[in-house]
Amino acid sequence: MIKDLRYLQLLSHTYPTITAASTEIINLEAILNLPKGTEHFLADIHGENDAFLHVLKNASGYIRRKVKALLHLTEDETRELCTLIYYPEQKIELIKPTKANLTLWYQQTLQQLVIICREVSSKYTRSKVRKALPNDFEYIIEELLHENTNEENKQAYVTSIIRTIINTGRADDFIITMCNVIQRLSIDRLHILGDIFDRGPGAHLILNHLSTFDEWDIVWGNHDVLWMGACAGNDACICNVLRLSLRYANMTTLEDGYGINLTPLVTFALEHYKDERCTIFRPIMPKGKRLSEKEMSLLAKMHKAIAILQFKVEAELYQKHPEWKMKDRDLLHTIGVDKTITSEERELLQKLHHSFTVSDHLRKHIKMLLSHGCMYKVSNSNLMFHGSIPLQKDGSFKPVMILGKKYKGQELLHRIGMLIRTALSNESPLLNPMENAEEKAYAVDYFLYLWCGADSPLFDKDKMTTFERYFYSDKKTWNEEKGWYFKLREDESMVERILADFKIRSKNGHIINGHVPVHVAGGENPIKAGGKLMVIDAGFSEPYHKTTGVAGCTLVFHSRGFELVIHEPFKSAQDAIEKGNDIISTTEIVEMSLHRMRVRDTDLGREISRKITELRDLLYAYRHGLINEKK
């Protein structure tokens, strides 16, 4: 007690009296007995903004299930109410003109929303629910949620509140607020297992939305790290980002999202590739998107121009870093192209480099990824990372060299995470400035290795055959041999060794990752190693739908256990609003607990228990005169 007295004195400033400390202990003990909050895990979103946001709005089908269970509605009524909850502003404008008795509709809808909101808020303390409420309606919503409508007097009280909301012309605003609160409380924590960027058009919109989301985290994927490298000024990453955007005809994120100036690339491509057809560089068009032949031709020329420049820039880095053992990836000479970067190409690079590194919106989003993310995360005995842990053939951890020192397992992911932060740090090096400057320069270069290096835990293949796919007709050369992690991931003992290396010793520990699409339609099971490993990349992005046979999935971890929700393709938000079409999802039970998990069974519960112990020590100090109350 004497040893901890200094800390307890600091704690006493927050809880200055016996009453304050006792009250907090009572509150925390009560929280420990609440049901565990619901966690949602999603991976490899790849810019599919509409589908991703719809999954958040419907909480992976949870809201629809609650509406059907709590309210006795027809299928059409269920569809209308659910769509209203997902898209309240737009749906109200469509519904109102169709209602002969609008007041009656308001009354029924408000009562239904109160019932649903009561259910989704039941796992939380009043204080947590209060934080989710906007100031305008905080008091009114609290009254509606916590009054017992089974009592005659209280029923009249609640009815009066609803009637007054309608009579004062606030019904629309109140419905919108209630719908947003339901959405917000339906997901306690969102875990993203990498790859927000590339392919789909809305990565910037996804990150804009996440900036308003309270509880979320991300483990970085290879595509996220590619954009981080572009933001940090790695020219090879910049070229790769542009090439992928052109390959999928996705200029929206570049131009509208981050204000990247593509005029220099257009000018260069038209000057140097004007007489080429560039057939193999024509973009892969998403369904429903059409471009004129002139537009397709321009994109193809831009695509080839940046691809050739990418291979040249990469070759320079492979020569600069022989320790990467990637000199064999310098292949331009095999098609008769000089790898020397011309003065015109160098000038183009400088302009593109400037455009990426000065984009305020891009830097803001990369800063978000840094503040909410890391290479791996451990939460409630679940180990999350995007791709792999590099392994050797016998299943042991593979040592990977970084700046003259070898790292493996958990140490490797931690070291890479620190290197990424070094590359993106704006702090002036105060200690060992030469050494720090050298590490920062290496860190910026290392983004390319993370993208396509054989021992990168974000790639983990023998090579990236982008060049061969463009220029070699022999498809045998396109093969990319996966690392041993992917070959051994059905081995339960291997999974347990990885969990132990990350200090997870619970018998209920799991690895959850994405990166490699699971062929669900072909019969591949996302649940591997006897339930110890879960791969949740089921192809959110449209180009992967043929591979996986579905359109993404959500792993849901609630108080009863794990469920895997597999999603069918989502047409559009507009289609959902106008026709009430929801994402069709199939739920599979992965693992169920014999008892319902409480907050005390979670990481948060362990933190709360430690705090309770500290508060009990503070009470002891108050009652024995070691610390005086501040009355």
Run means of pLDDT, 10 residues per run, the chain, 631 residues: 82 95 95 92 92 91 92 92 94 91 92 92 85 84 75 75 90 93 93 94 94 92 97 97 94 94 96 89 84 92 96 97 95 93 96 96 96 96 96 96 96 97 75 70 97 97 96 94 95 95 91 88 86 88 76 88 87 83 78 87 95 95 91 75
Q: Where are the domains of the chain?
A: 5-33+609-623, 39-193+514-597, 229-359, 363-373+391-481
Region class of 460: left (phi > 0), else alpha (psi between -120 and 50), else beta: left
Q: Name every residue whose Cβ is closer than 8 Å to that of residue 23 and which is 6 or more positions away in sequence.
A: none
Site of tokens 């007709």? 473
pLDDT of the residue at 196: 96
The terminus-to-terminus CA distance of the chain in angstroms comes to 23
Q: What residues pair up with 280 in beta bridges, in sequence order?
A: none
Contact 611, 28 (CB under 8 A): yes
Six token digits for residue 527? 């649940």
Six token digits for residue 236? 């090879």
C-alpha angle with apex 604: 113 to 499, nearest 5 degrees? 115
For strands 189-192 and 585-592, give the pairing: unpaired
pLDDT of the residue at 74: 93
pLDDT of the residue at 576: 85
pLDDT of the residue at 432: 55
- Give the separation between CA 34 and CA 127, rounded to whole angstroms: 13
Contact 414, 542 (CB under 8 A): no
Contact 309, 348 (CB under 8 A): yes
Contact 223, 369 (CB under 8 A): no
pTM over 0.85: yes
- Give the separation between CA 381 and CA 374, rounded to whole angstroms: 17
Contact 622, 4 (CB under 8 A): no
pLDDT of the residue at 3: 66
C-alpha angle with apex 126: 144 to 67, nearest 5 degrees? 55
Return the closest-CA partner of residue 279 out of 295, 300, 263, 264. Answer: 300
pLDDT of the residue at 153: 65
Q: What are phi and psi of 393, to 5 degrees?
A: -60, -35
Would you list the DSSP string of 356-416? HHT-HHHHHHHHHHHHHEESEEEETTEEEESS---B-TTSPBPPEEETTEEE-HHHHHHHH
Contact 379, 39 (CB under 8 A): yes
